[in-house]
Structure 1
Amino acid sequence: MTPRAIVTDIEGTTSSLSFVHDILFPYSRARLANYVAAHAQDVGPILDAVRQEAGDPSMDSDGCIARMLEWHDADRKIGSLKTLQGLIWKTGFESGVLKGHVYADAVDGLRRWHARGIALYIYSSGSIEAQKLLFGHTEQGDLTPLFTGHFDTAIGGKKEAGAYRAIAAQIGIPPADILFLSDIEAELAAAQEAGFAVTLLVREGPLREAGFPAAADFDSILPEVQPA
């Protein structure tokens, strides 16, 4: 059965893990302190959120920076950090220094599914702003017109079934008519619990035994229907 919607993860699914961890993360970490200093008024709400998360309302900006660097190094999925990372990446993408990596087969698959009228969504721990930057400035051009919408962890954790129920409710499509793609089995388990169809992406190494349908790339997922 062809799904009415496909929701896809980013890291390890549409884009390489190395791009995020070896390019994007070092870029934002190296510029975090200077960005906060140069945009003191703009980042005020972000620093307030850091203080709240840290449980220390008296923390000064240097303390907030130090705490965010700790979270950055630990790859913590904290909203205030993700928002700041997105702002820093924005400068890199808009200047042309950064180009979003998307697997060629993922680009082909997304275009193929979009042409077939399947609604496409992104669900990632990265902020919605960061998602749009990555797909809006890829080596293959602007891919954002392919997507109907974006979700981040503001809707819930990616390993929580409730998040997927909320996504289905928001897009107005029954869970059984939605396919979720990810390289993380715990995310697939949560989506499956919510009633989604799921497929595990195994981009490195042989396809392994898993409790889910698995694919090495997007080419084998809902391939083009060939005429009889």
Structure 2
Amino acid sequence: MNYRAIITDIEGTTSRISFVTEILFPYAAKHLPDFIRREQHTPAVASELHQVRILSGEPTADTERCITLLLQWLAADQKATPLKTLQGMIWADGYQNGAFQGHIYPDVAAKLADWQRQGIKLYVYSSGSVAAQQLLFKHSDFGDLTPLFSGYFDTRIGAKREVSAYAAILQQLQIPPRQVLFLSDVTAELDAAGQLGIATVQLVRDGQSAGKHPTAHDFYQLQEMMQ
């Protein structure tokens, strides 16, 4: 089938899960305390610390308490929006300092470019902040891939396992759900999108358990399924 738009997850779909768990998360955990202490009075960071206090139900939490909460959320891999936003700020330093590059599978870089040339609109939907998504693709193993994408979505539009998030995305895209393909390695996310009639494919790169959705081991196999 010919799709007008493809929305892709990142972790486990376009990029190794271990890139996030073994490189990005530890880097953020190591540098978060000093970053917060140094930047706490800048408007961008102060705004996120305010959101930490609201989300935690601790409106009077001082900076050190906010740091403790953020580290706890990071260790638990909680999809808290202020944490994701602050992580993105910290990772920006890492990318720009050359501490790491964004891991992208070779098949992903090749097929995304092909699909864009075919006129398919490409979007990212990930738990990581939009800024973090853009950093990964801008500083990828294959150079700057951000020109390939028409837009990015994060938890500000809704949780990835909630149907309402995909309804909001469809509202923005203004494309019928059957003409939209969503790619993820997480069955629950695909379930939510599928409830609206969005086409789904599960990527099973790292031994994930397959669910009821069509599966592909890489984007080359996905391309064959689309023909």
Shorter-chain TM-score range: over 0.9
Q: Confirm or deny: 8 A CA contact 1:176 1:197 kept in the other structure.
A: yes
Shift of residue 208 of structure 1? 6.1
- Residue 188 of structure 1: which of 190, 193, 214 is its match? 190
Shift of residue 204 of structure 1? 2.7
Q: Indicate yes or no: 2:194 matched with 1:179.
A: no
Shift of residue 40 of structure 1? 1.9
**Aligned residue number for residue 223 of structure 2:** 222
Residues 217/107 of structure 1: CA separation in 2 closer, same or farther (3 Å cut): same
* Count of aligned pairs: 225
Structure 2 runs not aligned, ≥5 long = none
Q: Confirm or deny: 8 A CA contact 1:9 1:124 kept in the other structure.
A: yes
Deviations 1:160-193 (A, max 9, x none): 1111111111011111110000000000000000
- Residue identity in the other structure for 2:216: A
- Residue identity in the other structure for 1:2: N
Root-mean-square deviation over aligned CA pairs: 1.6
Deviations 1:55-106 (A, max 9, x none): 1111100000001110010000001100100000001111221200000011
CA distance in structure 2 between the aligned counterparts of 1:32 and 1:142, rounded to whole angstroms: 26
Deviations 1:113-153 (A, max 9, x none): 11111000000000000000000001110000000000001
Q: Which portions of structure 1, spanning 4 or more consecutive aligned residues, are displaced by more than 6 angstroms?
A: none
User: Percent identity at matched positions?
Assistant: 49
- Residue identity in the other structure for 2:215: A
**Aligned residue number for residue 87 of structure 1:** 89
Shift of residue 223 of structure 1? 4.1
Residues 70/224 of structure 1: CA separation in 2 closer, same or farther (3 Å cut): closer
- Residue 54 of structure 1: which of 56, 59, 64 is its match? 56
**Aligned residue number for residue 40 of structure 1:** 40
Shift of residue 209 of structure 1? 5.3
Structure 1 runs not aligned, ≥5 long = none
CA distance in structure 2 between the aligned counterparts of 1:224 and 1:157, rounded to whole angstroms: 28
Residues 145/72 of structure 1: CA separation in 2 closer, same or farther (3 Å cut): same
TM-score of the superposed pair, with normalisation by structure 2 = 0.95
Shift of residue 52 of structure 1? 0.5
Q: Indicate yes or no: 2:15 matched with 1:15.
A: yes
Is the partner of 2:161 in helix, strand or coil? coil
Residues 115/62 of structure 1: CA separation in 2 closer, same or farther (3 Å cut): same
Shift of residue 210 of structure 1? 2.9
CA distance in structure 2 between the aligned counterparts of 1:199 and 1:109, rounded to whole angstroms: 15
